[in-house]
Chains A and B, each alone.
Chain A
Amino acid sequence: MTITPKTLSEKLWDRHVIRSAEGEPDLLYIDMHLIHEVTSPQAFDGLKMAGRGVRRTDLTVATADHNVPTINILQPIADPISATQVSHLGKNCLEYGIKLYPMADPGQGIVHVIGPELGITLPGMTIVCGDSHTSTHGAFGALAFGIGTSEVEHVFATQSLPQVKPKTMAITVDGDLPAGSTAKDVILAIIGKITTGGGIGHIVEYRGSTIRGLSMEGRMTICNMSIEAGAKAGMIAPDDTTYAYIEGRPHAPKGALWEQALGDWQTLPTDEGATYDTEVVLDGTKILPHVSWGTNPGQVAPIDSEVPDPNSIEDPGQRDAAERALRYMGLEPGTPLRDIMVDTVFVGSCTNGRIEDLRVAADVVRGRKVHQGVHAMVVPGSMRVRAQAEEEGLDQIFLNAGFEWRAAGCSMCLGMNPDKLAPGQRCASTSNRNFEGRQGPRGRTHLVSPAVAAATAIAGTFSTPADLR
């Protein structure tokens, strides 16, 4: 008997098919459903109107992250509409019996930061959330993807989702990264290469020695931004780095169950001889720190280059998009990226709001001062990250340098809380989207790594830590 070799994502998919029928999407079982205040209220309403309940409250976890203020968190939310949304989540979780990590709780944080830190995110699981950055959890070898509110309601009612099987894509990055380059630069380089639509209809598996050499936090940064290349999900096969991160976390299996889980997880990596529908290869040794110059995450360039000239872009659609982007960003072709001045620096988000990201940024700003006229803030991804950072004294390093030190949430990544750019402001941001208005109406976002964000806060123009010496 021959066994067809399978990829990591095919194994995960096949394990979770409840029902398969010709001409229909597969019905997939969902092992964990994460929810937050923005995309759940209408789903709860839909359940109520149909007289349905939540099938598996024990496979559902909630937190408030998108709207929450990052200062004065013990006081009521000032914005009445945000307050209503957050209180709706509380009421719904109470009514249906769903575990909630509310604002100011020590377990609260961005949904994609708390899943892994609680040990809820494990290899071999299907995880969904009404949030496109659910792809983050794929760093553990989970099949994790963002869904809309109708699908949230569907998972509430059935703990399953009908899904058309995506294609597979391997993105292989080999070699040691140059000094100063990080996981964020790898994923920005990948999106720059395949563009914002390159991954549409695919589940991406990241492979190669560069990826294997990354910590779990770096891997999460990579998988987090899979959606910025359009991919349905991003995944990395679990290995010893993964197991070491998981072991001992609150919801991680223990004792005999840990052994059982390990045995299972070790069967997940892609089989020898398995093939992908699409393959992309990057040379890790050539990936320099990246800065985005435009209004989509594919519009990026290495920091030692210049704002590109749209006339040099062959594709008319891409050329037009670049022209529009430069007008919006207020940038001239040919300007060295290092000459661009910023007035805001944001370190945080589900992309780069974890403890390692904060350590890297703190190392850069230690003993230095934020450049005059730059408003710099650090928003930890979770209250646990915040507590850990304070234990290590990182908060003092940031405060001494002139950064603001905030409570946990999505914050300025999307400006649903009071942390927003004013029109025309220019931000070096460790977040994931440089879309028009993303961080505030008419605000201008440049995506960078935590190291570049920190160095830029000190220098006032786009810089790497090495530039500061």
Chain B
Amino acid sequence: MEPVRVITGRAVPLDRSDVDTDQIIPAHWLKRVERTGFGAGLFSGWWENEPDFVLNRREYKDATILIAGPNFGVGSSREHAVWALMDYGFKAVISPRFGDIFRNNATKTGLVPVVVDPDVAEALMRQVEADPTTVITIDVERLVVDCPAAAISASFPMDDFTRYRLVEGLDDIGLTLRNEAAITAYEQKRPAWMPTISLR
């Protein structure tokens, strides 16, 4: 994972609530066995069918931040949703609330989930709708989102460990394996009634 410290860029306003991961990347894209190449499928059910869809609008091209309504990323656990957003060029998503699995997947891959109060999300949405050139800065080290044009400077929550991993770009598995002795010790006391699976 690449370190993510500060993200500065323009934003896309996706003024919809309950954006599920089936919308972010439709199922027929999930047949691929690679992690790359999902950007072309991002929100494809919407941009293919809705000419006015925000990603079809030239003024939002090359933005790196997505602003969405509440409950972004609910539904299917598909990490492909995160891969699609990142492959398309997004580095962060701002929403009042995220689906739990999506939020976990995002932080494992380096996409920053920025949880803000509904009124902050609303103000940012209106600002970038009114002026697509608006620049937003997300500082992961300080956990602050700044948008001077809208006079917004708001903090966002993230546990210390996740922030440290993002900022340092650390491999989660490598960190866990530092505790291998503890895992092995735990395994010694696994109850005998629990099932194990043999190849037969």
Contact = CB atoms under 8 A, between A and B. Distances in A.
Interface of A: 18-19, 23-25, 27, 29, 31-32, 38-39, 41-42, 45, 50, 52, 57-61, 66-67, 79, 81-82, 84-85, 88, 97, 99, 119-120, 122, 124-125, 130-132, 134, 145-151, 153-154, 157-160, 162, 164, 166, 196-197, 200-201, 227-228, 230, 232, 251-253, 257-258, 260-261, 264, 296, 298, 317-318, 320-321, 324, 414-416, 433, 435-438, 441-442
A205 to B, nearest CB: 17
Given A120-B195, A130-B77, A158-B183, A150 B108 contact: yes
B172 interface: yes
A154 B15 CA distance: 34
A232 B199 contact: no
B76 interface: yes
A159 B183 contact: yes
Contact of A27 (B20, B28, B34, B179): B179
A81 B29 CA distance: 10
A131 B77 contact: yes
Contacts of B161: 23-25, 162
Contacts of B52: none
A125 B194 contact: yes
18 contacts: A18-B182, A23-B159, A39-B77, A42-B33, A57-B197, A60-B197, A81-B31, A148-B77, A148-B79, A149-B80, A164-B159, A200-B71, A228-B75, A253-B195, A433-B75, A435-B23, A436-B22, A437-B26
A435 B75 contact: yes
Nearest to A88: B33
Interface centre among A132, A150, A227, A433 (most CB of B within 10 A): A150
B100 A264 contact: no
B192 interface: yes
B3 to A, nearest CB: 17
Contact of B176 (A154, A197, A324): A154
Given A19-B182, A150-B105, A157-B177, A257 B45 contact: no
Contacts, number: 213
A122 B31 contact: no
Given A85-B31, A201-B100, A441 B26 contact: yes
B138 interface: no
B104 interface: yes
A196 B187 contact: no
A22 to B, nearest CB: 9
Contact of A150 (B79, B177, B186): B79
A132 B101 contact: yes
Given A146-B77, A151-B104, A441-B26, A27 B194 contact: no
B70 interface: yes
Contacts of B173: 50, 52, 153-154, 157-158
Nearest to A249: B195
Nearest to A159: B183
B32 interface: yes
B123 interface: no
Contacts of B82: 148
B69 interface: yes
A29 B33 contact: no
Nearest to A119: B195
A160 B191 CA distance: 16
Interface of B: 15-18, 20, 22-23, 26-28, 30-35, 45, 49, 69-71, 74-80, 82, 97-101, 104-105, 108-109, 159-162, 171-173, 175-177, 179-180, 182-183, 186-187, 190-199
A230 B196 contact: no
Contacts of B74: 196-197, 200, 230, 296
A164 B107 CA distance: 13
A377 to B, nearest CB: 18
Contact of A321 (B16, B159, B199): B16
Given A148-B82, A148-B108, 12 more contacts: A18-B186, A29-B183, A99-B197, A132-B76, A149-B79, A197-B97, A200-B99, A251-B195, A296-B74, A433-B22, A433-B75, A435-B22
A448 to B, nearest CB: 19
Contacts of A24: 159-161
Contacts of A230: 71, 74, 99-100
A164 to B, nearest CB: 6
Q: Which 5 A-B pairs have the closest CB atoms?
A: A148-B105, A150-B108, A148-B79, A261-B193, A41-B33
Contacts of B172: 150, 154, 162
Given A158-B183, A230-B74, A321-B18, A436 B23 contact: yes
B181 to A, nearest CB: 10
Interface centre among B31, B97, B199 (most CB of A within 10 A): B31
Contact of B28 (A52, A162, A228, A416): A416
A309 to B, nearest CB: 18
Given A148-B101, A438-B22, A158 B176 contact: yes
A18 to B, nearest CB: 5
A325 B35 CA distance: 31
A42 B186 CA distance: 28
B188 to A, nearest CB: 11
A105 B112 CA distance: 42
Contacts of B18: 196-197, 296, 298, 321
Contacts of A29: 183, 186-187, 190
A23 B160 contact: yes
B30 to A, nearest CB: 5
Nearest to B177: A158
Contacts of B97: 197, 200
Nearest to A99: B197
Given A148-B78, A158-B173, A437 B199 contact: no
